Amino acid sequence: MFKRRIQKTLGDKILGFFWPTIGWQRAWAYIMLRLARLPGSAYSIAGGFACGAAMSFTPFVGLHFVLSAILAWSIRANIIASVIGTAVGNPWTFPFIWTWLYQTGTWMVSGERLEGAAKPDFSEIFGHMLQALVSWDAAYILETAPPVFWPMFVSSLPTTFVVWWVFYLPLNYTIQGYQNRRFRNRSRTPGGNEEF
């Protein structure tokens, strides 16, 4: 009854992930509405989303869901919101995030700015590391990972702190306002049902 008449192909689903058919503005508004309707306080939801966004600014690729859930649980925030928040790290933003982390980390570790130096090819680096993990080539991982991973890790510590607050403050305000309006609408409607 609620299925699509024309089913999406796998290619359409992948393309929709990278470029939403409804447009970025409506996609973002939909995510924010879904986020605001999660059960919990404004702190819990905004804090959870901020945890996911902050963990996207770490070099632990593949562990963002787990790390954001652990961080959200530790500060009593919404774990589902933290998983949604990891969407901040996506194929469109990762190149900028990784470049920021690597260059800032290199400056923090060695005190040198990489202005004229060649930027690392992260797709090649992560590809080789994945291949080394699959083939259990520990020597190659120990040779190639630390020079890239260590500056990114050092830079991620202050970056995640700042990113958490950048997402938490406006989201907390927005969700609090939405929940207050929703409560007022419920109290005005006979029987306590919302009108949408």
* DSSP-derived 3-state class of residue 3: coil
Question: Considering the entire predicted model, what is its pTM?
Answer: 0.71
Summarised one tens digit per residue, pLDDT across range 63-81 is 899 999 999 999 999 999 9
Summarised one tens digit per residue, pLDDT across range 140-188 is 667 767 777 888 899 999 999 999 999 999 999 988 888 888 778 777 7
Sequence-separated (6 or more) residues with CB below 8 Å from residue 18: 91, 92
Whether 35 contacts 82, CB under 8 Å: no
- Dist. CA 130–CA 111, nearest whole Å: 30
Summarised one tens digit per residue, pLDDT across range 33-64 is 777 777 888 899 999 999 999 999 998 888 89
DSSP state of 117: S
